[in-house]
Amino acid sequence: PLSLLLKACPLVDELALYDVVNTPGVTADLSHISSVAKIQGFLPADDGMKKAMTGADIVVIPAGIPRKPGMTRDDLFKINAGIVQGLIQGCAENCPDAYILVISNPVNSTVPIAAEVLKKAGKFNPKKLFGVTTLDVVRAETFIGEITGERDPSKTVIPVIGGHSGETIVPLFSQSKP
């Protein structure tokens, strides 16, 4: 869904997808969308990461595995931290001036890993590294819409602060609108 939204966005002129599997098929499907964005897909073979990242202005990292039943956040972190670490190293080497958006969970743990990798490479810019937890906001707006009877959740606004975990996430109900 994210690559579909990016491909359809009129502000995007080039989209490079990189993954360990399925990139050619997804790229072919997205190439059929009528938009100005040129799209290419890359796999690890033949320096795919380097080709995908070189010259990038923005890198979005949704990589990793989803949390499975019985899996703790620590289990998830151990796997996803390694994936994020490798991708961030690729950013440091191939697009050190890019804005980097980390979506990989647990975001409140993977972003500090990303920062440390960039610091070690001498490429850290705190104004260009972001953790993205928009899903938490969308969920909160949907839940509030269900409670209030608002049929269009996009008309509901609720700030969500804290980390992306049950212990640290805080929806600010007192600040919600309408």
pLDDT at residue 13 in the model: 95
Residue-wise pLDDT for 127-152, tens only, equals: 999 999 888 888 888 888 888 888 88
Whose CA is closest to 89, among 51, 52, 62, 49?
49
In the chain, pLDDT over 70 holds for what percent of residues?
100
Q: In degrees rounded to 5, what are phi and psi of residue 126?
A: -60, -15
Residue-wise pLDDT for 55-101, tens only, equals: 999 999 998 888 889 988 788 888 999 999 999 999 999 999 999 99
153 has a pLDDT exceeding 80: no
- The pTM assigned to this predicted structure is 0.84
Question: From CA 49, how far away is CA 28, in angstroms rounded?
Answer: 18
111/21: higher pLDDT? 111
104 has a pLDDT exceeding 90: no
The first and second tokens of residue 49, run together, are: 């990461």
CATH for the stretch 57-130: 3.40.50.720
Answer left, alpha or beta for residue 108, where phi above 0 means left and psi between -120 and 50 means alpha.
alpha
pLDDT at residue 72 in the model: 84
The mean per-residue pLDDT over the stretch 34-47 comes to 94
Cis bond before residue 24 (omega within 30° of 0): no
Domains of the chain, by residue range, sit at: 1-54, 57-130, 133-175
pLDDT at residue 8 in the model: 94
Q: Which residues are catalytic?
A: 164
